Amino acid sequence: MAAKSMKCALGSQLLTTRFDSQSSKVRAFSVRCSSVPFSTDGAAAVGLVERPWKVADARLVLEDGSIWRAKSFGASGTQVGEVVFNTSLTGYQEILTDPSYAGQFVLMTNPHIGNTGVNFDDEESKQCFLAGLVIRSLSISTSNWRCTGTLGDYLAERNIMGIYDVDTRAITRRLRQDGSLIGVLSTEEKKTDKELLEMSRTWDIVGVDLISGVSCKVPYVWVDKTDSEWQFNSETKGETFHVIAYDFGIKHNILRRLASYGCKITVVPSTWTASETLKMKPDGVIFSNGPGDPSAVPYAVETVKEIIGKVPVFGICMGHQLLGQALGGSTYKMKFGHHGGNHPVRNLRSGRVEISAQNHNYAVDPASLPKGVQVTHVNLNDGSCAGLAFPERKLMSLQYHPEASPGPHDSDLAFGEFMQLMTQEKEKA
C-alpha cells in the first residue's frame, strides 16, 4: 500500500500524520520528544556547527549620541578619532598610509573595499597613521596582479582597527549635515555605550599638534624617482635643483615627482630651523602636506615666515595653510573638509579645470590675505581657496595633492611651475 507522511514540530511534540493514498483514512498520533539547550557543547552534541558568517562585534559611537553596530576586522580594542568621509573610488592603501589622516577615522563612501588587496608599491609612508577605517562591504577575495596580502591582515599587522557591514551612506549624510564628528570605535563588550559616548565628547582634535607625531626625526636624502612604468607628463631628468622638503607628513609620491623633475631632495623634520635650511643654500623649499590644525603649530609658521622671500617655496595642503598664516592671513575649520580624488578645481589664471585629489579639514580665508597675494585656484564645489601665488615673495601653493596618489594626474604640472620658479631665480643670480 503506497503511503505518504508529513511531519511538523510543535513545541516539544512531533506531530506525525499519515495519509493512505488508496483510502480516505487518516491516522494521526503524537510523539513527545526532549529538547537540548543550545550551547557550544550542546551544538557539538547534536552535530551542529557555528555560523559560517561573522556577527556584529563592534560599535562606532558618535558624539551626537548615535550608535552604529558593525563587524570588526584588522585590530581590536578601543580607539577615538574624528570621523571624515572619503569619496575616492579606489586607492584605499594610499589613503591608509597618508600621514595627513592622523587622528581620524576614514569612512569610504565607495561601498566595496578590499578587492585589490595590498602591495608595498602603493604605500605613501612607512606606516599607517589613521585611527581606523569604516567601510560598507569588505571583499571576501582579492584579485590584482600586484597583490601580496589582504586588507584585513594588513590592518591587523599595523594595529589599525576597521569595521564593515555598517550603513556608511547614512553616516555620510549625517556628517554632511552636522559636520565632522568625534567617534569611538570599540570591540570591547565590557565598555558600555555611555562610557564610549563620554569618551567621544571629551576628546578633541582642534588645537592639537599632530605634525610632530608623523614627521621624521632626522634629515635624510631622498633619491627614488617615479618608476618608468608609472611615469607621465615629464621626462625623467638628472639632478638640476637642490630642494629642502619639510616633512609635516610628506607623502612618498610627492618626493618621487620632485625627483623625476630633476631635484636632489633633502627631507628635514618639522622642527628644522630656517637658519639651518638657509645654510644649506637650497634652490627651493617644499612645505609638505600634514595632519591637523595649522594654528596648533606656531613654530612651523615662524619657520615659514623666515624662509619666504629668500628662496622659491612651494606649499602643499598643510604647507599651503602655513604659508597663508605666515603671510598674515587666517585659516578656519571646514564643516566636513575635502577628502577624495574627484574634486574639481579651477585655475583662475588659465581657466583650466582640474580634477584633484584632496585631503584637508582646514582652509585659508582669502579675505584675510594681504595685498599682493593672488588666489590662483578655487574649489568649484564650495568656492574655497585652493591655491595661492605671491610673485614678489617667490612662492606658490596648492590646497590639494598634485602628486595625485590616489587620483587623476591633472595637477602634476604644478611641479613644472615650481621648477620654472627656481629656474628664474637661478637666472637672476
The model's pLDDT over 36-78, given as tens digits with 9 standing for 90+, comes to 444 444 444 455 566 677 899 999 999 999 999 999 999 999 9
pLDDT bracket for residue 14 (50, 70, 90): very low
Residue (of 322, 324, 387, 326) closest to 353 by Cα position:
387
Strands (E) located in 237-310: 241-246, 263-268, 284-287
403 given a catalytic annotation:
yes
pLDDT digits (tens, 9 = 90+) for 387-416: 999 999 999 999 999 999 888 899 999 999
Q: Above 90 in pLDDT, residue 157?
A: yes
195 given a catalytic annotation:
no
pLDDT of residue 321: 98
Omega before 406 cis (within 30°)?
Answer: yes
Q: Which of 317, 320, 343, 360 is catalytic?
A: 317
Do 315 and 390 meet the contact criterion of CB atoms below 8 Å apart? Answer: no
Q: Which of 252, 338, 377, 401 is catalytic?
A: 401
Q: Which residues contact 186 (CB under 8 A, 6 or more apart)?
A: 58, 59, 61, 77, 78, 79, 196
**Backbone phi, then psi, for 13, in 5-degree steps?**
-110, 150
Interstrand relation of 67-74 and 58-62 (parallel, antiparallel or unpaired) = antiparallel
- The CATH topology of domain 211-428 is Rossmann fold (3.40.50)
Q: What mean pLDDT is reported for the chain?
A: 90
pLDDT digits (tens, 9 = 90+) for 103-145: 999 999 999 999 999 999 999 999 999 999 999 999 989 999 9
Q: Which three cell numbers stand for residue 337?
A: 573638509
Select the CATH number that applies to the domain covering 56-202 from these four: 3.30.360.10, 3.50.30.20, 3.30.70.100, 3.40.50.150: 3.50.30.20
338 given a catalytic annotation:
no
pTM recorded for the entire structure = 0.87
pLDDT digits (tens, 9 = 90+) for 21-30: 454 454 544 4
In a 13 Å sphere around the CA of 166, the CA atoms on its Cβ side amount to: 27
Residues of the chain with CATH 3.50.30.20: 56-202
Q: Which amino acid is at 104?
A: Q
Of residues 27 and 421, the one with the higher pLDDT is 421
Residue 96, classed as helix, strand or coil, is helix
Alpha carbon 68 to its chain's center: 20
DSSP 308: B
pLDDT of residue 233: 63
In angstroms, rounded to a whole number, what is the distance separating the alpha carbons of residues 78 and 81?
Answer: 10
**Backbone phi, then psi, for 366, in 5-degree steps?**
-65, -25
Q: Which residues contact 343 (CB under 8 A, 6 or more apart)?
A: 355, 356, 357, 358, 379, 380, 381, 400
pLDDT of residue 50: 65
pLDDT digits (tens, 9 = 90+) for 259-275: 999 999 999 999 999 99
Residues of the chain with CATH 3.40.50.880: 211-428
In angstroms, rounded to a whole number, what is the distance separating the alpha carbons of residues 111 and 44?
Answer: 37
**Class of residue 366 by CB neighbours under 10 A (exposed 0-12, middle 13-18, buried 19+):** middle
In angstroms, rounded to a whole number, what is the distance separating the alpha carbons of residues 204 and 288?
Answer: 24
Q: Above 50 in pLDDT, residue 7?
A: no
pLDDT of residue 282: 98
3-state helix, strand, coil in the chain (%, to 5): 25, 35, 40
